[in-house]
């Protein structure tokens, strides 16, 4: 894909909504277009977070090793979403395993390249932090909701609990 085409495709991803042309070009210089076959592992817990992904199609599973319980799948990430924020927070290591549940089309963004850009261009760095903060806030909210186990056998309800 030509850089111009890549910039245009990136612009369509919800994570980059309304990002200005100049910043988008900066991001494009660190981006590539990838296709992952079903079952492909993207990264493993503890590995260096060298990349983050903007998913275009397909789904990715995030898993944690649960000892005797085996791998525990904690979340799936799909089209329009972002995979990976460990690249932006020291010590830049993945907290989960990730693999493609089905064929995945995504933009892969080189984290080392991006960190360098962030440190040399504070405007760009702020923009990335701002966008990732929103992602983190949403993830935190979703995790809290998940922890609440809202579908459990809590008392109350319409009366079906009697």
Partner 1 sequence: MTEFAPQTEELLHGYMIPSLATVRRIVWETDDTFTLLLDTTQMNDSPYSFMPGQFNMIYAFGTGESAVSISSDPAKPGLLGHTIHRVGSVTSSLSRLKRGSLVGLRGPFGSAWPLEEAVGKDICIAAGGIGLAPLRPIIYSLVRKRELYGRIVILYGARSPLDLLYRVELEQWNKLPNTEVIVTVDRGDSTWKGHIGVVTNLFSYIKLDSESTIAMVCGPEVMMKYTVEELQRRGLSQERIFVSMERNMKCGIGLCGHCQFGPKFICKDGPVFRLNEVYQLTEKKEL
Nearer CB in complex with partner 1: 30/77: 77
Angle, CA of 5, 86 and 107, to the nearest 5°: 15
Minimum Å gap between C-beta 4 and partner 1 is 26
Site residues (CB under 8 A) for partner 1, limited to 120-159: 141-142, 145-146, 148-154, 156-159
Question: Burial, 27: exposed, middle or buried (Cβ in 10 Å; 0-12, 13-18, 19+)?
Answer: buried
> d(Cα 75, Cα 157) in Å, to the nearest integer?
28
**DSSP category for residue 65:** E
> d(Cα 11, Cα 56) in Å, to the nearest integer?
12
Query: In this chain, which of 18, 70, 90, 130 binds partner 1, going by CB under 8 A?
Result: 70
Nearer CB in complex with partner 1: 32/146: 146
* Interaction between residue 65 and partner 1 (CB under 8 A): no
Instruction: For residue 16, give the 3-state DSSP assignment.
Output: helix
Minimum Å gap between C-beta 162 and partner 1 is 4
Q: Which residues bind partner 1 (CB under 8 A)?
A: 14, 59, 61, 70-71, 73-76, 78-81, 101-102, 141-142, 145-146, 148-154, 156-162
């Amino acid at each position: 894909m030509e850089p111009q085409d890549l910039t245009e495709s990136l612009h369509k991803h919800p994570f980059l909504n309304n990002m200005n042309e100049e910043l988008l070009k900066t991001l494009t210089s660190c981006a590539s277009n990838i296709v992952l076959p079903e079952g492909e592992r993207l990264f493993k817990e503890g590995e260096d977070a060298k990349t983050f992904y903007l998913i275009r199609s397909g789904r990715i599973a995030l898993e944690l090793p649960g000892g005797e319980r085996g791998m525990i799948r904690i979340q799936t990430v799909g089209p329009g979403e972002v995979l990976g924020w460990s690249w932006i927070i020291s010590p830049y290591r993945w907290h989960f395993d990730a693999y493609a549940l089905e064929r995945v089309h995504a933009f892969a963004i080189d984290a080392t390249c991006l960190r360098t850009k962030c440190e040399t261009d504070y405007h760009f760095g702020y923009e990335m932090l701002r966008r990732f903060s929103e992602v983190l806030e949403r993830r935190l909210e979703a995790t809290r909701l998940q922890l609440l186990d809202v579908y459990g056998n809590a008392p109350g309800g319409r009366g079906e609990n009697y």
